[in-house]
Amino acid sequence: MPALTDQTTTPFATLLRLAAQDAKDRAAKEFARCEEAVRQAEQRRRDQRDRAVDQAVETVALIYTSTLQRVLDKDVWTGYPCADEDGRERGPLAVASLADGAWAVHERRALDEEYEYDEVTLLLPCHCGIGYLEHAVRDDGDLLITLDSYRTRDDRMCAAGLCSPRRR
C-alpha cells in the first residue's frame, strides 16, 4: 500500500474532506438561520414596545384629556413586549412614571378573538411604605376620584391586605 501524501488522494480521503466541508457548510447555514431568528424576534419585541407606547398615547389622548394627557408626553412612556411569544396571556404594555413612586400602566387586553379594550391602571405607593395599590381607572372622573381617595390616606386598604408587595 503506497503512503498517502498531499499529492496522493484516495477516494476515501476525498469523501472525508467532502463530509467535513458539508458539515462546515451545514453549521454555517444553521448559525445564519439562528442569527436571523434572533434578529426577527428582537424586531418583533421592538415593534411591540413601539405599538404599546403608541396605544397608550392614543388612549390617553381620547379618554384622559383632562388628567393624564396634561401631564404625560409620548416620550415618558416605556413600552414592554409580550411576556409570552404569542401574546395570549399578556399583551405588550406601556408604563409611565408619575414621579413620587406612582406609575400609570396601559395595556390593551383581549376579551376574545375579536374584541380588545384599553385598560389604564394606576400603581400608587401604599401608605404603609411596603407595597403598591393598583387601581384600574376608566376615565378622567374615575381617575380623579381614585386620586382623591388616595390623598385622604385611607389606611384601611393596606390593613385589609389590598396592597401588593413591591418587587425588587
For residues 29, 34, 36, 37, the Cα torsion angle rounded to the nearest 10 degrees is 140
Kindly report the number of other CB atoms within 10 A of residue 53's CB atom: 23
Angle at 85 between CA 33 and CA 46, to 5 degrees: 75
Q: What percent of the chain has pLDDT over 70?
A: 83
Q: Give yes or no for residue 10 having a pLDDT over 80.
A: yes
DSSP one-letter code for 167: P
Average pLDDT over residues 91-112: 90
Measured in whole angstroms, the distance separating CA 153 from the mean position of its chain's CA atoms is: 32
Q: Give yes or no for residue 162 having a pLDDT over 90.
A: no
**Res 168: pLDDT:** 37
**Res 5: pLDDT:** 53
Give the span between the Cα atoms of 86 and 89, in whole angstroms: 8
- pLDDT tens-digit map of 41-75: 999 999 999 999 999 999 999 999 999 999 999 99
Q: Give yes or no for residue 100 having a pLDDT over 80.
A: yes
**Res 22: pLDDT:** 94
> For the sheet containing 164-165, what is the strand order?
77-80, 93-99, 102-110, 116-125, 131-137, 164-165
Q: Name the amino acid, one letter, at 44.
A: R
pTM over 0.85: no
- pLDDT tens-digit map of 128-154: 777 888 999 999 999 999 999 888 875
